[in-house]
C-alpha cells in the first residue's frame, strides 16, 4: 500500500508539474530563506564556544574615572595578570593580548603592511584552543622577538620554504626589530573574536615599552578553576589592586569581569555594549519563523484550492474499496513526498547561494567549499537587509572619498603640505588631514570644560583634523560652527 501511494504520488507530479513546481517551489524558497537566516543566528551564537574551557574563561574590563564621569573599556593595566597569578590560586591561567596596529613586515621575499598581528603570552594557548605546530607555546612565545605565524602568512613571506627559523623585520614605534619564526599556528576560524595572521611574543612588548600600572593597553583574560564564582573573585581582585596601587587622586581604574560567553552578544549590562548585536539576531529569528509560517500557509492554501478536484479522486478510490485510513495514508504520503522535494530543493538553493551570502554578510555561515549563486539572494530575501545597511546615513559623505593612510614619519611632518598639493589636482574638490577615519577613532583624551561650573571632566575618543575636514567629508554641525584658519580663537598657537 505504501509503495502504491508513492507511485501514485509521482504519477500525479508528472501529470500536474505546474502545480508541483509552484507549491513545492514556494515551500523550498521559504525553507531555504529560513535555513540561511537560522544558520547565521547559530554562527553568531557559537562565537568562541568551541574552546574546551569556554565556560571558565573571563575577560577583565576597566572603569576609568576622570572626575565624576566613568568610561568603560576592555583595556587593563599590564601588571594585572601578574597580580592575579601571584595572589589568586583560583586563577588557573592569566594571559594578556594586544594588537600591534598596522606595521610594516618584511622578509627577503616580500614586504607589506600587516594589521592583524597580536602580542600574546605563552599562557594564551592554555586558555584558548589554537594549536601551535613545530614547537610548544612555552618555547615558541617565551623569548622577546619570537613569533608564530599562520600557514597563509608564512606562504606570503617565505613561499614554500619551512617558516620555522626564518626571520622577519617589523617596525614598531619608529624602529625596526628582527623577529624569529618559532612555530606555525592554526589560523582562527570564523567562530572566534580573535582574528590574527601571526602571534608575536608579549615579552617583546615588555622589552620595548612601558608596562606600568598607569598604562592601560592589553586585554587581560583569566581561566578560572572549576566551580569558581567570578563575581566573588571580582571584588577580591579590586581589593588587591587597591592594596598595590592605592586610591589615586586624579585618575582611578576599577576592574570587573565578563564571562567569555557574554563577550560577543551579552555585553555587560547597560555599561558596555556587546560586540555583536543580539537585537538583530532576535529580529532575524523572528523573520525566519515568519517566512516559514508564510511558506507553510501558502502550501496549505494551494493544496486546499485543489480540494474539489481531489474530491472526485477520493470518490473513485472509495468505489474501488479503499478505506478511510487508506485515503488518509495516501494524502500523508503525498504531503511527505512534496515536503521532501521542497527540502531537497531548499538544500540546493542554500548550496548555490551560500558563497555569495558569506561575502555579502561578511561572515562564514557554513564552513567548507560551496558554489556561488548571487541571483539566489533575491529569492532568499536577504538583499533588502543588506541594502539598508549599505544605504544607511553614516553622518558623513562616504562616496567619492579616498582615504590615504600615512605611515612614514617623514611624510607625517608635511601632511598639510601634501593636502594642499592634493587639493590642486584636477578633479579633487578638497583635501584634508585627520588622525583617522571617522569610524576608527582610537585616541583617548581627558577633556574638561573650562568655565565656572568646575567641570570634573571625562575621557573621550578624539579625532584630530584640519579645517578642510568638514567640507571633504560633508559633515553637518549639530550646533555651533566648525573651526577655521582665519579665526584667532581656533589657531593652535593660541594654546
CA 34, 44, 114, 159 dihedral sign is: negative
Considering only CA atoms, which of 340, 318, 330 is closest in space to residue 11? 330
What DSSP state is assigned to residue 270?
A: B
What confidence score (pLDDT) does residue 439 get? Answer: 63
- Higher-confidence position of 257 and 388: 257
Same domain, 298 and 375: yes
Most confident of 167-176, 356-365, 375-384: 167-176
Q: Where are the alpha helices (DSSP H) in 277-323?
A: 278-305, 307-319
What confidence score (pLDDT) does residue 448 get? Answer: 61
Same domain, 251 and 148: yes
- Higher-confidence position of 336 and 475: 475
Same domain, 247 and 181: yes
Confidence band, pLDDT 50/70/90 cuts, at residue 454: low
Same domain, 247 and 339: no
Considering only CA atoms, which of 216, 89, 204 is closest in space to residue 145? 204
**Angle in degrees, CA 12, 13, 17, rounded to 5:** 120
Same domain, 73 and 23: no
Q: Per the domain annotation, does 404 fall within a domain?
A: no
Same domain, 303 and 450: no
Whether 327 shows a pLDDT value over 70: the answer reads no
Most confident of 59-63, 326-330, 437-441: 59-63
The dihedrals phi and psi of 108, each to the nearest 5 degrees, come to -70, -20
- Higher-confidence position of 201 and 20: 201
Q: How many domains does the chain have?
A: 3
What confidence score (pLDDT) does residue 182 get? Answer: 92
Same domain, 339 and 240: no
What confidence score (pLDDT) does residue 378 get? Answer: 41
Note down the domain range covering 116.
Answer: 54-263
Burial of 288 (0-12, 13-18, 19+ CB in 10 A): buried
Same domain, 131 and 257: yes
Considering only CA atoms, which of 171, 188, 175 is closest in space to residue 120? 188
Q: Per the domain annotation, does 402 fall within a domain?
A: no
- Higher-confidence position of 88 and 406: 88
Same domain, 245 and 382: no
pLDDT digits (tens, 9 = 90+) for 421-432: 888 889 888 888
Q: Per the domain annotation, does 442 fall within a domain?
A: yes
Which percentage of the chain shows pLDDT scores above 70?
A: 72
Give the three-state DSSP class for 344: helix
Q: Per the domain annotation, does 24 fall within a domain?
A: yes
Segment 12-24 shows an average pLDDT of 70
pLDDT digits (tens, 9 = 90+) for 55-110: 899 999 888 776 666 777 788 888 999 999 999 999 999 999 988 888 889 998 89
Lowest-confidence segment of 305-314, 330-339, 379-388 by average pLDDT:
379-388
What confidence score (pLDDT) does residue 123 get? Answer: 92
Q: Per the domain annotation, does 166 fall within a domain?
A: yes
Say how many Å lie between the first and final Cα of the chain, rounded: 94
Amino acid at each position: 500500500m505504501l509503495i502504491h501511494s508513492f507511485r501514485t504520488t509521482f504519477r500525479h507530479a508528472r501529470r500536474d508539474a505546474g502545480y508541483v513546481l509552484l507549491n513545492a517551489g514556494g515551500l523550498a524558497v521559504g525553507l531555504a530563506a529560513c535555513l540561511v537566516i537560522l544558520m547565521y543566528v547559530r554562527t553568531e551564537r557559537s562565537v568562541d564556544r568551541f574552546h574546551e574551557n569556554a565556560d571558565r574563561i573571563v575577560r577583565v574590563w576597566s572603569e576609568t574615572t576622570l572626575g565624576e564621569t566613568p568610561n568603560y573599556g576592555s583595556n587593563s593595566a599590564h601588571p594585572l595578570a601578574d597580580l592575579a597569578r601571584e595572589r589568586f590560586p583560583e586563577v588557573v591561567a592569566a594571559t594578556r593580548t594586544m594588537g600591534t596596529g598596522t606595521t610594516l613586515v618584511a622578509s627577503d621575499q616580500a614586504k607589506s603592511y600587516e594589521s592583524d598581528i597580536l602580542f600574546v603570552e605563552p599562557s594564551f594557548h592554555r586558555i584558548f584552543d589554537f594549536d601551535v605546530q613545530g614547537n610548544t607555546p612555552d618555547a615558541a612565545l617565551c623569548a622577546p622577538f619570537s613569533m608564530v605565524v599562520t600557514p597563509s602568512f608564512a606562504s606570503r613571506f617565505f613561499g614554500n620554504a619551512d617558516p620555522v627559523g626564518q626571520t622577519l623585520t617589523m617596525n614598531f614605534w619608529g624602529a625596526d626589530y628582527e623577529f624569529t619564526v618559532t612555530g606555525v599556528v592554526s589560523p582562527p576560524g570564523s567562530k572566534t573574536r580573535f582574528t590574527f595572521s601571526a602571534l608575536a611574543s608579549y615579552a617583546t612588548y615588555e622589552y620595548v615599552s612601558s608596562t606600568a600600572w598607569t598604562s592601560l593597553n592589553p586585554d587581560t583574560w583569566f581561566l578560572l578553576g572549576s566551580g569558581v564564582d567570578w563575581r566573588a573573585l571580582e571584588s577580591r581582585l579590586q581589593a588587591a589592586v587597591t592594596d598595590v596601587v592605592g586610591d589615586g587622586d586624579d585618575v582611578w581604574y576599577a576592574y570587573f569581569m565578563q564571562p567569555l560567553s557574554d563577550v560577543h552578544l551579552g555585553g555587560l549590562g547597560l555599561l558596555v555594549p556587546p560586540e555583536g548585536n543580539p537585537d538583530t539576531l532576535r529580529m532575524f529569528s523572528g523573520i525566519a519563523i515568519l517566512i516559514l509560517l508564510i511558506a507553510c500557509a501558502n502550501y496549505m492554501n494551494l493544496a486546499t484550492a485543489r480540494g474539489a478536484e481531489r474530491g472526485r479522486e477520493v470518490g473513485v478510490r472509495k468505489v474501488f474499496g479503499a478505506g478511510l485510513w487508506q485515503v488518509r495514508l495516501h494524502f500523508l504520503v503525498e504531503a511527505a513526498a512534496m515536503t521532501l522535494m521542497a527540502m531537497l530543493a531548499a538544500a540546493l538553493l542554500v548550496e548555490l547561494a551560500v558563497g555569495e551570502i558569506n561575502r555579502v554578510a561578511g561572515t562564514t555561515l557554513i564552513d567548507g567549499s560551496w558554489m556561488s549563486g548571487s541571483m539566489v539572494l533575491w529569492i532568499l530575501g536577504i538583499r533588502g537587509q543588506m541594502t539598508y545597511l549599505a544605504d544607511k546615513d553614516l553622518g558623513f559623505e562616504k562616496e567619492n572619498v579616498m582615504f590615504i593612510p600615512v605611515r612614514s614619519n617623514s611624510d607625517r611632518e608635511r601632511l598639510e603640505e601634501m593636502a594642499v598639493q592634493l587639493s590642486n589636482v584636477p578633479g579633487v574638490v578638497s583635501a584634508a588631514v585627520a588622525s583617522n577615519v571617522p569610524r576608527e577613532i582610537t585616541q583617548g583624551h581627558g577633556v574638561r570644560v573650562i568655565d565656572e561650573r568646575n567641570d570634573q571632566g571625562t575621557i573621550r575618543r578624539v579625532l584630530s583634523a584640519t579645517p578642510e575636514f568638514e567640507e571633504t567629508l560633508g559633515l553637518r554641525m549639530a550646533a555651533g560652527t566648525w573651526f577655521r584658519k582665519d579665526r584667532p580663537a581656533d589657531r593652535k598657537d593660541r594654546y
